[in-house]
């Protein structure tokens, strides 16, 4: 099987985001080529949001999966954008303001989702992702971004 070729702009973005992507355990030790292959799934489906500063510093990256039924949560390759379920697979940002901007990017692209699922790693109870209805999730995300901005104004 032929190895995929990635556009140089995509490779440059992934290379820049690498320090943030490495915070996600499955990506921690991947070589750049494998990382690009893995990330292309999100890039090609529009389920990736990111921020890079004007000076080229990675500020944030968010990866989501969209699906219709709860049991599809376990299917890593599912992509059914229908407004039902959204799982935040990775969300890393230098501050809450960046996190909010990435959420807005994804909301503008896919619209509100009925249920948001968020696995916050060690902060998630019993290893089960937290589940929120859309209004609850937006309120929580807004509070986190404002709280962080208040503590760490830029």
Bridge partners of residue 87, in order along the sequence: 65, 117
pLDDT in tens, 83-92: 999 999 999 9
Cα 84 versus chain centre, distance: 17
Distance in angstroms (rounded) separating the CA atoms of residues 146 and 128: 26
pTM of the model: 0.86
Closest CA to 138 of 110, 115, 109: 115
Find the mean pLDDT for residues 37-56.
97
């Amino acid at each position: 099987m032929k190895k995929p070729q990635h556009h140089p702009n995509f490779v440059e973005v992934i290379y820049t985001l690498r320090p943030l992507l490495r915070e996600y355990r499955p990506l921690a030790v991947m070589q750049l080529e494998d990382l690009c292959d893995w990330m292309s799934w999100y890039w090609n489906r529009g389920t990736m949001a990111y921020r890079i500063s004007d000076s080229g510093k990675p500020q944030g990256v968010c990866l989501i999966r969209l699906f219709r039924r709860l049991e599809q949560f376990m299917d890593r390759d599912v992509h059914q954008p229908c407004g039902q379920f959204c799982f935040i697979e990775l969300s890393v940002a230098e501050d809450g303001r960046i996190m909010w901007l990435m959420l807005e990017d994804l909301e503008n692209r896919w619209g509100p989702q009925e249920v948001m699922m968020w696995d916050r790693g060690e902060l998630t109870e019993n290893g089960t992702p937290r589940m929120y209805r859309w209004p609850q999730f937006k309120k929580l995300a807004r509070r986190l971004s404002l709280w962080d901005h208040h503590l760490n104004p830029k």
